[in-house]
Structure 1
């Protein structure tokens, strides 16, 4: 299967690396292009058999499946350039959450889908969110699910939960790594532990926590109950978190949804279906 990638920024590169390292794709089956040539060249230095296209037309004409890994503001222009180049048998996959499959279907003459990857996919872990366009047949859906399954747990979602699902799956690692970093900062600021030791201990703890949950030993509430002995030290810490965090996560989801809605509204004005 010949696969093209338009955009080799952070997420595009992560997706290519994950699919190659998991053996889902072969280097020689991939053709890439990026508006900053040095980023595409850096990827080719790591995977020499990857081909760098000289134009969007080249990568479009030679790909059975084409991934669009560009930022939301760039998407309308890219779709307009692609539309006359594509055939109905091809499949275009966007990784941009504010662009719905309805928008993709309205702008392109081929099969479409949207996947929202996670940085966890780099370790063949986590979930990848999938939404299918109306032209995708059962075989197309199965092929995409099989591809994504090499690096993650595929999860089909409806448009109405796109943002919250993306917050949890795709943005969540950044949110929780921020909390972990602040956890480490607090330990270093208030005690004699070194940053190196605190980081090592916190990292080990997070990996172990993930394994406990993955293996089904505890649910999140059960784990808290098990560790937090009444009147103990953990309880004091939990009380601080309850007081300091308050409705912080409610506000987080509120703000991400507001940003998502603003981006989607702006893009809708540029699509024919809107």
Structure 2
């Protein structure tokens, strides 16, 4: 199987490295392109046999699966460059959440999917969220999910939930890391513990908590109940957290959805001429 990657930015390069490191793909099975060719070539230099192409069409030709790892406002230009070379049996996968399957179905005659990856895929963990177009057959879905399974747990979702599942799976690591960083910073400031030591303890705690939730069969409420003895230290601190964070995550979700809708309007305007903000 040959796989193309158009766009070698943060997420494109992460996927390439994870697939190679996990043994899912050999470098010789991968072709890449990037708006700045030197960046693609630099990545190819790291993995002997990986092929950097000067054009997006060159990276797509002869590939069974093509990942489009580009920003929303670059998408229409990239799709236009691919129209002449994409074949009906190829699978084109967008990893850009505001680009809808319907946008691509009107442009490319092939098998179409959308996958929302996560930074956790770099360590072969977390989910890959899979959304499929009408042209994807079960064998196509199996081929893509077999590849993704080397670095993640592929989960099929409805496209209408793209933004919220992206918040939880793809943005979530940044949100949780931010909270953990605040916890560590406070520990250092309030007690004088070394930052490296505090971070090591907190990171091990986060890993263990994740295992309790995934492998231990506990819910978040179960973890809180088992740790917080009524009237104890943890219980008192949890009451503080509940008061101080009330509504914060509702605001967070509203913020990500507002930005998503803004990007979606711009992408729709590029693809099908829909009005943006009524203009």
TM-score normalised to structure 1 length: 0.96
TM superposition shift of 1:180 = 0.4
1:243 aligns with 2:238: no
Match of 1:72 in 2: 72
Q: How does 1:187-226 map to 2 (within 5 A)?
A: 187-226=187-226
Aligned length: 274
Q: Distance in 2 between matches of 1:19 and 1:123?
A: 10
1:53 aligns with 2:53: yes
Match of 2:96 in 1: 96
Counterpart contact for 1:103–1:273, Cα < 8 Å: no
1:44 aligns with 2:44: yes
Match of 1:117 in 2: 117
Match of 1:8 in 2: 8
Match of 1:85 in 2: 85
TM superposition shift of 1:60 = 2.1
TM superposition shift of 1:42 = 2.8
TM-score normalised to structure 2 length: 0.95
Match of 2:255 in 1: 255
* Greater shift in the superposed pair: 184-193 or 35-44: 35-44
TM superposition shift of 1:61 = 1.9
TM superposition shift of 1:273 = 8.4
Please identify runs of 4+ aligned residues in structure 1 that moved more than 6 A: none
Counterpart contact for 1:129–1:154, Cα < 8 Å: yes
Deviations 1:79-107 (A, max 9, x none): 11111221112111110000011111111
| CA distance 1:112–1:273, change in 2 (3 Å) | farther
Match of 2:277 in 1: none
Match of 2:17 in 1: 17
Q: Distance in 1 between matches of 2:67 and 2:273?
A: 21
Match of 1:181 in 2: 181
Unaligned runs of 5+ in 1: none
Q: Distance in 1 between matches of 2:67 and 2:217?
A: 38
Q: Distance in 1 between matches of 2:44 and 2:62?
A: 18
Match of 1:158 in 2: 158
Deviations 1:215-238 (A, max 9, x none): 225221111011111111112211
Counterpart contact for 2:5–2:69, Cα < 8 Å: yes
Counterpart contact for 2:34–2:56, Cα < 8 Å: no
Counterpart contact for 1:104–1:133, Cα < 8 Å: no
What is the Cα-based RMSD across aligned positions, in Å?
1.3
Unaligned runs of 5+ in 2: 275-279
Match of 2:232 in 1: 232
